[in-house]
Amino acid sequence: MVDPNDLAHEISEARGRLIAFVTRCSADQWVSEPMGSADPRPVSVIVDHVADSYEYLGSWMEAMVAGEAVEVNPDIVDELNAIHASRATSLERDEVIEHLRRSGDEMIGFVSRLTGDQLAMGDGRVELFAQIAQRHADAHRSELEAVVFL
């Protein structure tokens, strides 16, 4: 059985690596659309998207722990991402870091308070969404580092 505190720690570490990446970006890199990236959004929007995803992943996890049925599919995720991208314009670095900290802290706190039985709720999707929160930050950071810091 996975320890919720271990998951929370992994989410925190991945978020820290993403914040460290953000602080290394120049002003031009921060607003650029990375060449060679599969993602056409500017760096600032991609990073803020990770902070936004902590919020929707967390809301789904909370609902499942409360015993509610949660429908999640690629169309729902794509719609949330499109809504975020349409609203996320002119993002300042400090505001995105604050968003990462705030939404990440909520996710980390929630995960750390879970029990093993709660992680298994929603047919194991509570644990899966916690793992996605960690992998998501690292996946975007790794891709961005590869194309931004050539």
CATH of the domain at 96: 1.20.120.450
Residue 89's pLDDT is: 81
- Reported as a pLDDT band with limits 50, 70 and 90, residue 38 is confident
With CA atoms as reference, report the closest residue to 18 among 111, 150, 142, 148: 142
- Reported as a pLDDT band with limits 50, 70 and 90, residue 113 is very high
> Which structural domain, as residue segments, surrounds residue 77?
4-148
Give the residue, 69 or 1, on which the prediction is more confident: 69
* Mean per-residue pLDDT over the chain, rounded: 93
Residue 150's pLDDT is: 57
pTM, two decimals, is 0.92
The amino acid present at 72, given as its one-letter code, is V
- Give the list of residues 6+ apart from residue 42 with CB closer than 8 angstroms, or none: 30, 31, 32, 33
Instruction: Please count the structural domains in the chain.
Output: 1
